[in-house]
Amino acid sequence: MYLTDEEKRILDGEKGEIAQRSMSFLVEYGEAAGAERLIDIDGTVDVHPLADWIPQYAVTLDEVRELVKKGERFKVPTFANKPVAPGFIIDGWEKCGLPKNSDPEYRRKNMEALQPYIDMGMIPIFSCNYYLVSSFLPTVGQHCAWVESSAIPWANAILGARTNFDGCFHTAYLGKVPAYDMHLDENRRATVLVKCETELKSDIDYDLFGWAVGEAVDLEVPALVGIGKPTTSQLVKMNSALNTGGQVRMYHVPGLTPEAPTVEAAFQGNYQREISITRADLRRVYDKLNYATKEDVDFVYLGCPHYNIYDICRAAKLLEGKKCKTLLWIMTNPSSYQVAERMGLRKIIEDAGGVLLSGSCPGALLETPPMKVMATDSAKQNYYLTGMFYPEKLDVWYGSMEECINAAITGKWSSDWR
């Protein structure tokens, strides 16, 4: 890999041992990726704080504290995704009912461990959809280093920024990243035209559609036509499913996403094939996600990706004046949690017997409340949690927010999705 003189000097240790280690990581990573050079990040970095991709290059908290003392800071705007090492609840933890997470000492220690990163300049958004509330987004063409399945297509497709799945301490500290894959023009052109031949209406229609496309195209870049005018919540769900049911990091929606004003602009002469997604494809995914037989539900989880403030408004309206028979968790980002508090939505949810939480999810916590049958409106959380329970079998239902809340109120699963 080609390195500039400055990059070589960092690799030789001229800027200290941590910079040298960070550069060694980028060089080994870049060479394994077949990257020809590094690129300067002119956009943003998103990190799962304290989570190191490669333990051999880990930077310890003591080392970060030393850097802070020397006045060093992250070189580029750096945002915190949800903590995963370990995952813990940021708001509402007192009511979560999980022994570890409702222990104030556990939370204090975990928050304290993040402080050196915050002192380095990391902005503590603590959410998988930090991009909805961060107030500072990359613009078209800017190079980034983000993390999180659902966030990667938001950066590449919706914003037209350029990122692989590699945000971490090292990229934020040096402000550099290997220039390959999504950073290069030729890899961002669509190769497959995806015609949506069913009208997408509900939020979960977009979730199911994203999953079906992901399964069909893997790592390819699709151009999606016929998907209507999705809401923000629907786009978040579609992105999450595209990069869970498959590995779609980038897509175009001609007329909607910034790099594709037209179908021709999406392909730039790179067209290879065409597929159709029908209601039958959505049904197949829906059946795959309804991995349960027992109708009695005892845990309902909403908020993967984290609910935005309007999702919380809708959920609170459905819960107002009702009483839940099951445990109900609604997970959001810490910023929206504060707004929900101000709007009285937290109280409405709690009066109905639910809990509003922020900053995590069962998958990131690696636990759920004790339960046998759960329901969720998230294809992603649904599909990973059964893996977490393996070899024990988890019964998990999948349906709309309305169906999930109905299950929380009645204790029974019923669905009329078609």
Partner 1 sequence: MAETKKIILKGRKVIGGKAEGEALVSQEPLMGWLNVNPQLGCTTERNHPLCGVSFKDKILVFPTPRGSGGFVSYGTTVNYNTNPAAFIYTKGNNLTIFASLVAQIPTVTDLDQDPLEIIETGDYVKVDGDLGIVEVIKSVG
Q: Which of 71, 99, 321, 391 binds partner 1 (CB under 8 A)?
A: 391
Q: Which phi and psi (to 5°) does residue 39 adopt?
A: -130, 145
User: Does 115 interact with partner 1 (rule: CB under 8 A)?
Assistant: no
Closest by CA position to 276, among listed 200, 190, 212: 212
User: Does 22 interact with partner 1 (rule: CB under 8 A)?
Assistant: no
User: Does 29 interact with partner 1 (rule: CB under 8 A)?
Assistant: yes
Min CB(148)–partner 1 separation in Å: 7
Residues binding partner 1: number (CB under 8 A): 36
Residues from 268 through 297 that contact partner 1 (CB under 8 A)? 288, 291
Q: Which of 99, 104, 269, 387 binds partner 1 (CB under 8 A)?
A: 387
At 185, list the tokens. Answer: 């023009």
Are 290 and 373 a contacting pair, CB within 8 Å? no
Cα 190 from Cα 335, distance rounded (Å): 35
The smaller minimum CB distance to partner 1, of residues 54 and 140, is found at 54
> Which one of 27-35, 71-79, 88-96, 114-122 is the stretch in contact with partner 1 (CB under 8 A)?
27-35
The smaller minimum CB distance to partner 1, of residues 29 and 74, is found at 29
> Which one of 255-263, 343-351, 380-388, 403-411 is the stretch in contact with partner 1 (CB under 8 A)?
380-388
Q: Which of 102, 231, 247, 400 binds partner 1 (CB under 8 A)?
A: 247
Sheet with 273-277: strands ordered across:
222-225, 192-196, 273-277
Are 244 and 383 a contacting pair, CB within 8 Å? yes
User: Does 34 interact with partner 1 (rule: CB under 8 A)?
Assistant: yes
Are β-strands 395-398 and 373-376 bridged in parallel, bridged antiparallel, or unpaired?
A: parallel
The smaller minimum CB distance to partner 1, of residues 306 and 346, is found at 306
Min CB(31)–partner 1 separation in Å: 9
By residue count, the chain amounts to 418
Integer CA distances (angstroms), 98 to 93, 104, 318, in order: 8, 12, 26
At 103, list the tokens. Answer: 């222990």
Residues from 393 through 412 that contact partner 1 (CB under 8 A)? none
Burial 351-365 (b: 16+ CB within 10 A, else e): ebbbbbbbbbbbbbb
The smaller minimum CB distance to partner 1, of residues 244 and 335, is found at 244
Sheet with 395-398: strands ordered across:
355-358, 327-332, 299-307, 373-376, 395-398
Q: Which of 147, 194, 253, 328 binds partner 1 (CB under 8 A)?
A: 147
User: Does 218 interact with partner 1 (rule: CB under 8 A)?
Assistant: yes
User: Does 372 interact with partner 1 (rule: CB under 8 A)?
Assistant: no
User: Does 164 interact with partner 1 (rule: CB under 8 A)?
Assistant: yes
Q: Which of 104, 293, 390, 418 binds partner 1 (CB under 8 A)?
A: 390
User: Does 99 interact with partner 1 (rule: CB under 8 A)?
Assistant: no
User: Does 46 interact with partner 1 (rule: CB under 8 A)?
Assistant: no
Are 345 and 369 a contacting pair, CB within 8 Å? no
DSSP per position, 324-368: -SSEEEEEE-HHHHHHHHHTTHHHHHHHTT-EEEES--HHHHT--
The smaller minimum CB distance to partner 1, of residues 21 and 249, is found at 249
User: Does 206 interact with partner 1 (rule: CB under 8 A)?
Assistant: no
Integer CA distances (angstroms), 287 to 280, 352, 396, in order: 10, 30, 11
The smaller minimum CB distance to partner 1, of residues 179 and 312, is found at 179
Q: Which of 355, 363, 399, 403 binds partner 1 (CB under 8 A)?
A: 363
Residue 92's identity, in one-letter code, is G
Residue 4's identity, in one-letter code, is T
User: Does 214 interact with partner 1 (rule: CB under 8 A)?
Assistant: yes
Binding mask 166-205 for partner 1 (x = CB under 8 A): x--------------x------------------------
The smaller minimum CB distance to partner 1, of residues 140 and 366, is found at 366
Reduced to 3 states, what is the DSSP secondary structure of residue 285? helix
Integer CA distances (angstroms), 180 to 71, 76, 143, 170, 186, in order: 32, 19, 11, 17, 10
Interface residues toward partner 1, by CB under 8 A: 28-29, 32-34, 53-56, 147-149, 164-166, 181, 214, 218-219, 243-247, 249, 288, 291, 363, 383-388, 390-391
